[in-house]
A = this chain, B = another copy of it.
């Protein structure tokens, strides 16, 4: 199996967010289910936020975009703000051209305060990843904040439901 680069993007402006915790658990569950070796690399946009719209961003911003550009699999996580992903996440993804994530597999994850926003993962976040060119082979995952006390089991259940062939598409030169 080829070495797979698995990157997790966390679009919550607050450091140490529930989004970060949820994304790590889902990434671990997907890596286990799909037999991805190594540890996913985390890009927490809370760290980069003050620089993302700066006129002259520090090297850390270019390093983060380079990691995404080199990834095979990307988990894209955000809380819902105003019924959709955060502006912070979109500002980061706006650094990439349309179609520039072609050949990568992307997994959309939203952490919801209210169940009323659950469709946002399919109608807002996933179309954004498709526009960027990513292959999005699974349904998006919408996790309620109220359910995060059983985060690990929810993450495992979700990863287990990914059909084996799609798990294959996530890895092993996956989308190559």
A binding-site residues for B, Cβ under 8 Å: 13, 49-55, 81-84, 86-94, 96, 98, 103, 114-120, 122-124, 126-128, 130-132, 135-139, 142, 163-166, 168-169, 172-176
The residue in chain B whose Cβ has the minimal distance to the Cβ of A123 is B123
Tell whether, in the assembled complex, residue A83 and residue B137 are in contact, meaning their CB atoms are under 8 Å apart: no
**In the assembly, how many copies of this chain are there?**
4
Contacts of A128 in B (CB 8 A): 82-84
A21 to chain B, nearest CB (A): 21
Contacts of A98 in B (CB 8 A): 82-83
Tell whether, in the assembled complex, residue A119 and residue B115 are in contact, meaning their CB atoms are under 8 Å apart: no
| Known A50-B55, A81-B94, A168-B168; 11 more pairs at CB < 8 Å | A52-B53, A82-B98, A82-B131, A84-B127, A115-B116, A118-B118, A119-B127, A122-B126, A123-B123, A165-B172, A165-B174
Contacts of A118 in B (CB 8 A): 115-119
A89 to chain B, nearest CB (A): 7
> Which of B87, B123, B137, B139 makes the CB contact (< 8 A) with A119?
B123
Most B-side CB within 10 Å, residue of A49, A117, A130? A130
